[in-house]
Chain A
Amino acid sequence: MTIERGLIARAGLLAVLAVLAHAAAGAPGGEFVFAYLQRAGDDYYAAHRSYTGLTLRDRHRPLAGVAVALRESRVTGRALGLEFRLIERELARDEAAGAAVEALLAQGARALVLDLPREEVAALARDFAGRALLLFNVRHTDDALRAADCSPVLFHTLPSLAMLSDALAQFLASKNWREVLVLAGGTPADLATSKAFRHAARKFGLRVNSVREFELGNDPRRRDLNNVALLTAEADYDVVYLADTAGEFGRYVPFDTQRPRPVVGSEGLTASAWHWTWERHGAPQLNQRFDRLAGRRMHDSDFAAWLAVRVVVDSIARTRSTGVAAIARYLRSGETTFDTYLGAPGSFRPWDNQLRLPVLLHTHNAVIARAPLSGFLHRDNELDTLGADRPESACRLAG
C-alpha cells in the first residue's frame, strides 16, 4: 500500500534529520495509541460504475488523513517525550466489531477512528458508552448519530447533514435566491438529504415552491419524472436544489433546466467539509502534505480523520495528560481553539460532541463561499448557526 511505503520512506529521512530528544517539564512520556478500524468488503467503498469505463464515485478510505496527522505530530511528540502510535485493524466480513474494540483497548489503543457502516458506529458508541476510550466518526453526516444515537464517547469531526444543509440555505438567503425548486431521488439517502435541506430552508426563510421526485430512465411514458426540462417546467423559482446522492441523474441537470437558473446541492454549488481548491488558512499546505503522502486529493472523510488525530494530539499537549478522561474533558470544554484550517477556532459542542466547523460552498474547481456567511449572527458562536444548536438538539450530553 502506498501509504505505508510513503511513511517508511519519510521515516528514513527523519532519522537522518534526527534531533536530540528533550522531554519538556511535566510531559506525559511513554506512548499514546490510536487505532483505525475498518471492515473488509465494505460496500461503501465498492466502485460505483455508471457505464463502461465511467466511474462517477471513487471513494477512498480516510486512513491517509490519519497518517498525515500522525506525521505532523512527531514534533509535538518530541516536545512531550511521547510516541504516537497507530494500530490498523481490518475486521473480517462477519467479525464482531465489539470484540475487536476490546482487543484494541487491551493493546493500549485509546482513540479509535471508525471507518465502519453507520449502524456499527452507533452500536459501538452505545456499547462502549461508559468506557475509557474516544471514538471518532469521520464518515457519516447522519443527524441521528448526533441525536437519538449520540454517546459521550462518540465525537464527530465531520459536519452533520444539518450543518451542510444550513450552509447552503444561508448562501441562498444571502443571495436573496429565496424561491427554490427541489428535485430529489427516491433512495433513503436522497430523501434524507432533501428533508434536511427543506428544514434548513425553513430555518433561513427560503420558500420551497415545489418538491419533485426524479427517476433515472428514458421511458417516454415516465417523462414527467425522467426529463429534466419537464421536471423543471411549470414552476417559478430562483434556484434548483438537487438531492441525488448517487449522482447519475444529477449530472445531467445543470444547463438542462427549463428556466435559466443555477443548480445547487448534489451538483453545481455543493456544501462540503473540505475542498482541494480551498486556499486560505494554511489549506494549500495541508492539501499538498496530503497529496504527497496519499497521491490524491483530500476529501471530506480524510479531512475528518486528520482532524480526529489532530484534536487528540492537541488536547494531550494542552493538558499534558494522556488520560482519556482528561482529554475528553478538554475536548468538551468549549475553551479549545483547534486549528481546522477553515479559519475559525474549532471546539466541540458539549451537547452532542459535534466539532464546530465552517462549511465550504464550492463548485467543481473553486470555493465560492465559506459558511457561516457574514450577517448570520448567534448569541454565542456564529458557527452554531450551522446544524443543531443546543435548544434544537435531541442529544443531552451536557447537563
Chain B
Amino acid sequence: MRTSHPRLPRRLAIAGLALLALPALEVGAASTGRVLVGNEKSNTITVLVNDEVVQTIDTCARPRGMHFSAERTEFYVGCADDSVIAIYEVATLKLLRRIRNVEEPETFDLHPNGRHLYVSNEEDATATVYDVLSGELLGEFDTGEEPEGVQVTRDGRLVFVASEAANMVHVIDTGRGEVIKDILVDTRPRRFALTPDERELWVSAELAGMVNIIDTQTLELVGDVRFLPTGFRPEQVTPVDVLITRDGKRAYVALGRANHVAVVDVAARKVLEYILVGRRAWGLALTHDEGKLYVANGLSDDISIIDTRSLRVLKSVPVGRVPYGILVDDH
C-alpha cells in the first residue's frame, strides 16, 4: 500500500501534518478519533481528525462497503473493481491482508462470532460468507441481481440481503444455511437498519422514495415511511443509507438526489425534519455518542457533518471523488 495523497490540496496537507503532530487529540486512549471516508472513484480513503482532512491514502479499485472488525482493531474495505476485500489495521492504517477473488463486493456485515463476514457480490447475484482471519470462502447463497445491503441479527441467526434489481429482501437462516424467504419490497431496496429490539427491519427503497418496515417475526411488510422534502418531486427522492439510534427513537435516512437527510421518529414512523446536505447524500455514520452525523455526498465529492441536537450542518468537508462509505473510530 502506498500512502501518498496526490489530490490533497497543499494547504490541507500541511494542516494535516500539523494536526498529526499534536499529541493530545480529543479522543479516548483506545481509539484514534479518525473518520475514514472511502472514495469510490478516486480509489482513496480520506482520513479526518477533528473534522479536518489530515491524510488521504490510496486504497484499492472502487472502494465501497467498509466495516470494523469485532474488536475494532481492523477494518474491511470492499474493493469492487479488484474483487478483493482489503483488511487494514485501524491504528496504523496499514494494509494487513486481503481476501481475494470476492466477486465485486458491495457491502457486508459481520456475524457476532467476529469471524464470518457476509458479503453482497453485486455482479454475481450471490451473497457469500468469508472467514475474515483465514480468508476462506465458507458459503454462497443465490440472490436476485445486484445484491446490496447486508444485515446480520445480534444473535447471528438471520442475515438479510437486499437485492436492488429483484426488489427483494432475502432472508438467510445461518443455522440451516438456507434462504428461508424472499420478501418482495418496494423498488430498488438498498440498505438496512434494525431497531434495537430487533423487532423491525427498516429497508430503504431507493426508487420508491421510501423506507419499508419488515416485522422480523413474521417476515412481512408492516409499514412504510415516505419522504418528500419541500420543493422536491417524488422521483427525486432516492433514499439509500438508514441508521437508527441506540435508544431506538430516531432514524436518519440519506435521501440521495433530494440532497437531504430525513430525521424520523421511529415509533411514530413520522418525519421530524429534513436537513439540507450535499448532492446525492447516501452513506451515513454516527459518532459513538450519536452527537454528530457524517453524510457522504456522492455527487458533490464532500461530506456534511450534522450536529444531531440542533439538526444543523456544522460544516462540509471536501473529500475524494464519489465518497461512499464512512467509518468513525471514536470508541
Q: Do A and B make up one complex?
A: yes
* Chain A residues packing against B (C-beta within 8 Å): 14, 17-20, 22, 24, 72-73, 75-76, 78-79, 282, 285, 288-289, 314, 317-318, 337-339, 343-345, 381-383
Q: Knowing A76-B168, A285-B122, say if A337 contacts B180 (CB, 8 Å).
A: no
Q: Knowing A22-B181, A75-B182, A343-B257, say if A382 contacts B235 (CB, 8 Å).
A: yes
| Bound: A76/B188 CA distance, A | 13
Q: Is A78 in contact with B182, judged by CB distance below 8 angstroms?
A: yes
Q: Which residue of A lies closest to B143 (CB)?
A: A75
Q: Determine which residue in B179, B207, B208 has the highest number of CB atoms from chain A within 10 A of its CB, and name it.
A: B207
Q: Is A282 in contact with B164, judged by CB distance below 8 angstroms?
A: yes
Q: Is A14 in contact with B142, judged by CB distance below 8 angstroms?
A: yes
Q: Is B168 in contact with A337, judged by CB distance below 8 angstroms?
A: no
CB proximity of A23 to chain B, nearest CB, Å:
10
Contact of B188 among A78, A339, A383 (CB under 8 A): A339
| Bound: A345/B182 CA distance, A | 23
Q: Which residue of B lies closest to A377 (CB)?
A: B233
Is there a chain A Cβ closer than 8 Å to B146's Cβ? yes
Q: Is B186 in contact with A19, judged by CB distance below 8 angstroms?
A: no
Q: Is A79 in contact with B187, judged by CB distance below 8 angstroms?
A: no
**Interface size class, chain B:** 35 or more
Q: Give me 17 other A-B pairs in contact (C-beta within 8 A), A75-B182, A289-B145 excluded.
A: A14-B142, A72-B145, A73-B166, A76-B168, A79-B184, A282-B164, A285-B145, A285-B165, A288-B123, A337-B187, A337-B207, A338-B187, A339-B164, A339-B167, A344-B235, A345-B208, A382-B233
Taking CB atoms, residues of chain A closer than 8 Å to B167 are 76, 314, 317, 339
Taking CB atoms, residues of chain A closer than 8 Å to B125 are 72, 75
Contact of A337 among B122, B181, B186, B233 (CB under 8 A): B186
Taking CB atoms, residues of chain A closer than 8 Å to B82 are none
| Bound: A343/B126 CA distance, A | 24
Q: Which residue of B lies closest to A317 (CB)?
A: B184
| Bound: A318/B168 CA distance, A | 12
* Chain B residues packing against A (C-beta within 8 Å): 122-123, 125-126, 140-146, 163-168, 170, 178-182, 184, 186-188, 207-209, 233-235, 238, 257
Q: Is A285 in contact with B123, judged by CB distance below 8 angstroms?
A: yes
Q: Determine which residue in A78, A337, A383 has the highest number of CB atoms from chain B within 10 A of its CB, and name it.
A: A337
| Bound: A318/B167 CA distance, A | 10
Give the A-B contact count at a CB cut-off of 8 A. Answer: 84
Taking CB atoms, residues of chain A closer than 8 Å to B140 are 17
Taking CB atoms, residues of chain B closer than 8 Å to A337 are 186-187, 207-209
| Bound: A318/B185 CA distance, A | 9
Q: Which residue of B lies closest to A288 (CB)?
A: B123
Taking CB atoms, residues of chain A closer than 8 Å to B184 are 24, 79, 317-318
Taking CB atoms, residues of chain B closer than 8 Å to A72 are 125, 144-145, 165-166
Q: Is B144 in contact with A75, judged by CB distance below 8 angstroms?
A: yes
Q: Is A289 in contact with B208, judged by CB distance below 8 angstroms?
A: no
Pull 24 A–B residue pairs with CB atoms less than 8 Å apart, ordered by A: A17-B140, A17-B142, A19-B179, A22-B180, A22-B181, A24-B184, A72-B125, A72-B166, A73-B166, A75-B143, A76-B167, A76-B168, A79-B168, A79-B182, A282-B165, A317-B167, A317-B184, A337-B187, A337-B208, A337-B209, A338-B187, A345-B234, A381-B233, A382-B233
| Bound: A382/B164 CA distance, A | 24
Q: Is A19 in contact with B181, judged by CB distance below 8 angstroms?
A: no
Q: Is A285 in contact with B166, judged by CB distance below 8 angstroms?
A: no
Taking CB atoms, residues of chain B closer than 8 Å to A383 are 235
Taking CB atoms, residues of chain A closer than 8 Å to B164 are 282, 339
| Bound: A343/B179 CA distance, A | 30
Taking CB atoms, residues of chain B closer than 8 Å to A79 are 168, 182, 184
| Bound: A345/B179 CA distance, A | 29
Q: Is B235 in contact with A345, judged by CB distance below 8 angstroms?
A: yes
CB proximity of A371 to chain B, nearest CB, Å:
14
Taking CB atoms, residues of chain A closer than 8 Å to B165 are 72, 282, 285, 339
Q: Which residue of A lies closest to B164 (CB)?
A: A282
Q: Is A339 in contact with B187, judged by CB distance below 8 angstroms?
A: yes
CB proximity of B308 to chain A, nearest CB, Å:
29
| Bound: A345/B236 CA distance, A | 9
Taking CB atoms, residues of chain B closer than 8 Å to A17 are 126, 140-142
Q: Determine which residue in B141, B180, B182, B208 has the highest number of CB atoms from chain A within 10 A of its CB, and name it.
A: B182
CB proximity of A389 to chain B, nearest CB, Å:
16
CB proximity of A70 to chain B, nearest CB, Å:
12
Taking CB atoms, residues of chain B closer than 8 Å to A382 are 233, 235
Taking CB atoms, residues of chain B closer than 8 Å to A20 are 178-179
Taking CB atoms, residues of chain A closer than 8 Å to B207 are 337, 339, 345
What 10 pairs between A and B have smallest CB-CB spacing? Answer: A79-B182, A75-B144, A337-B187, A72-B145, A17-B142, A344-B235, A75-B166, A337-B208, A19-B142, A19-B179
Q: Is B208 in contact with A76, judged by CB distance below 8 angstroms?
A: no
Q: Which residue of B lies closest to A380 (CB)?
A: B233
Q: Knowing A285-B122, A289-B123, A343-B257, say if A76 contacts B144 (CB, 8 Å).
A: yes
| Bound: A382/B234 CA distance, A | 11
| Bound: A282/B238 CA distance, A | 13
Q: Determine which residue in B125, B164, B238 has the highest number of CB atoms from chain A within 10 A of its CB, and name it.
A: B125
Q: Knowing A24-B184, A285-B123, say if A19 contacts B178 (CB, 8 Å).
A: yes
| Bound: A338/B186 CA distance, A | 10
Taking CB atoms, residues of chain B closer than 8 Å to A285 are 122-123, 145-146, 165
CB proximity of A360 to chain B, nearest CB, Å:
17
| Bound: A149/B234 CA distance, A | 33
Q: Is B163 in contact with A75, judged by CB distance below 8 angstroms?
A: yes
Taking CB atoms, residues of chain A closer than 8 Å to B209 are 337, 345
| Bound: A337/B187 CA distance, A | 6
Taking CB atoms, residues of chain A closer than 8 Å to B122 are 285
| Bound: A298/B27 CA distance, A | 51
CB proximity of B127 to chain A, nearest CB, Å:
11
| Bound: A24/B178 CA distance, A | 16
Q: Knowing A75-B166, A76-B168, A337-B186, say if A282 contacts B144 (CB, 8 Å).
A: no
